[in-house]
Structure 1
Amino acid sequence: MTEEPLTAGKNAVEVVRVGDTVRRARDAGAAFAALVLTHLESVGYPHAPRYLGIDEHGRDILSFIQGTTTDHPTQRAHGAYAGGGRMLRELHEVTAGHFLAADKECVIHGDPGPFNTIFQQGLPVAFIDWSSCRPGARLEDLGYMAWTWCIQSQGRVPITEQARHLRELRDGYGFIEPEQLLDAMVRRQTCVADIEAVNVNDPKLTPARRRHAEAAFAWATADRELIHRHRTLLLSALKQSG
């Protein structure tokens, strides 16, 4: 069958569509992701692709989910932020206490940005690219999602609109102390910035990967500065009822 390259997600080396399936090159996280996706299917979690095995080329086979990713609020419909928050909360709930969570709170997606979320008619329906899933803390996942979905130093999104989106996402997930959420967001930004600052000058990486590192460092640090600059406004929005 014809293979159609896919651009959704941001970490995969090779992702192609073959009919109603996606074929994805296996990486270090593939085996654990397969276990997680199998568990999610067994409990009826609807917001993830189904794991269908390994093809003759050694690639994971996943069910194809129709839709697109997004990179700007204008591409998302009313209710998208609350819906995304609910999707993440449900993932955490159905993996809490499971052996896959080991000694952590739950299994986290690890990279639940809008670039790893499939939208249909502007509403989120599924998370893709599960290669970063692992045992972890809920706030680690939620902090990253809140940052990448709601905070944009680029794109000319008014800060009041960003604050409203942040509150909607938090309300969709469930109550988290405002200070805890903002601190979790900044921790994830700092983590990305620290990692990519090292990668920028790593001679073992390709020039393309080092350019990506430079862009990622600039993205994380600019968005972190935006949170610091508007922390009072963001806290005020989070303290309002939904």
Structure 2
Amino acid sequence: MTEEPLSGGNNALEVVRVGDTVRRARDSNAAFAARLLNHLESAGYPYAPRHLGVDERGRDVLGYIPGATTDHPSQRAPGAYARGGRMLSELHEATAGHALAAGRECVLHGDPGPFNTIFRDGLPAAFIDWSSCRPGDRLDDLAYMAWTWCVQARGDVPIAEQARHLRELRDGYGGGEAERLLEAMVRRQGHIVEAETANAADPGLPPARRRHARAAVAWAASDREIVCRQWPLLLSALRPAGS
């Protein structure tokens, strides 16, 4: 059958569509991700692709989920942020206490940005690219999602709109202490700046990977500057009225 290259996710590995399936090159976390996806299917979690096995070329075979990723609020419908927060919360609930969580709070998606979320009619339908899934603490996943969905230096999004989306996503998730969430967002941004700065300076990496690293540093640093500069406004948006 014809193989159609897919783009839109935050993934550097080969990903192609073959009929109603997606074939994805395996990486070091592929076995864990497959176990997680099988567990989520058995638990009735509807926001992830099914893992269908490994093909003759050693690639993971996943169920194809129609839709598209987004990179601007104008591409998302009312209710998208709250629904995205609920999707993440249900993932954490479905894995809390499971052996895959390895004694941590739950299993994280690890990279639940809008670039790894399939949308249909402006509403999130599923998370894709589970290569970063791992045991961890809920706040790390929520903070990364809150940042990448709601805060952006590019795109001319008014800060009041960004703050409103942040509140909608956090409330959709089911809550989270305002200051701890903002602090966790800044930590995630800082980790990316630090790691990708090192990658950008690594002569052993291919030029394309180093260009990606420089772009990632600029992205995370500019969004971190927004969070720090607009901290009082974002904190107010996350706190109950009158507090």
Corresponding residue for residue 70 of structure 2: 70
TM-score between both structures, scaled by the size of structure 2: 0.98
Corresponding residue for residue 204 of structure 1: 204
Q: Which has the larger displacement, 3-12 or 112-121?
A: 3-12
User: Is contact 1:81–1:165 with CA below 8 Å preserved after alignment?
Assistant: yes
CA separation in 2, counterparts of 1:175 and 1:197?
A: 33
Amino acid at match of 1:156: D
Shift of 1:240: 3.4
CA separation in 2, counterparts of 1:175 and 1:215?
A: 32
Corresponding residue for residue 223 of structure 1: 223
User: Is contact 1:12–1:25 with CA below 8 Å preserved after alignment?
Assistant: no
CA separation in 2, counterparts of 1:236 and 1:10?
A: 31
CA separation in 2, counterparts of 1:95 and 1:197?
A: 33
Corresponding residue for residue 113 of structure 2: 113
Summarize deviations over 1:123-178 as a string: whole Å, max 9, x none: 00100000000000000000000000000011100000000000000000011110
CA separation in 2, counterparts of 1:200 and 1:12?
A: 16
Aligned 1:88-103 pairs, distance under 5 A: 88-103=88-103
Summarize deviations over 1:204-238 as a string: whole Å, max 9, x none: 10111001100100110110010000000000001
User: Is contact 1:95–1:101 with CA below 8 Å preserved after alignment?
Assistant: yes
Instruction: Describe the SS at the equivalent of 1:147.
Output: helix
Amino acid at match of 1:54: V
Q: Does structure 1 residue 163 correspond to structure 2 residue 150?
A: no
CA separation in 2, counterparts of 1:55 and 1:147?
A: 36
CA separation in 1, counterparts of 2:19 and 2:154?
A: 36
Corresponding residue for residue 18 of structure 1: 18
Task: Please provide the CA RMSD for this pair.
Answer: 0.7
Summarize deviations over 1:53-102 as a string: whole Å, max 9, x none: 00011000000000000000000000000000000000000100000000
CA separation in 1, counterparts of 2:206 and 2:194?
A: 19
CA separation in 1, counterparts of 2:237 and 2:30?
A: 39
User: Is contact 1:108–1:134 with CA below 8 Å preserved after alignment?
Assistant: yes
CA separation in 2, counterparts of 1:144 and 1:104?
A: 18
Amino acid at match of 1:162: Q
User: Is contact 1:25–1:60 with CA below 8 Å preserved after alignment?
Assistant: yes
Query: Structure 2: 5+ residue runs without aligned partners?
Result: none
Identity of aligned residues (%): 71
Shift of 1:8: 2.4
Q: Does structure 1 residue 140 correspond to structure 2 residue 123?
A: no
Amino acid at match of 2:105: E
Corresponding residue for residue 51 of structure 1: 51
CA separation in 2, counterparts of 1:228 and 1:80?
A: 25
Shift of 1:29: 1.0
Amino acid at match of 2:159: I
Shift of 1:185: 0.5
CA separation in 2, counterparts of 1:96 and 1:130?
A: 17
How many equivalent residue pairs?
A: 241
Shift of 1:103: 1.4
Amino acid at match of 2:232: T
Instruction: Describe the SS at the equivalent of 1:119.
Output: strand
TM-score between both structures, scaled by the size of structure 1: 0.99
User: Is contact 1:16–1:22 with CA below 8 Å preserved after alignment?
Assistant: yes
Amino acid at match of 2:139: L
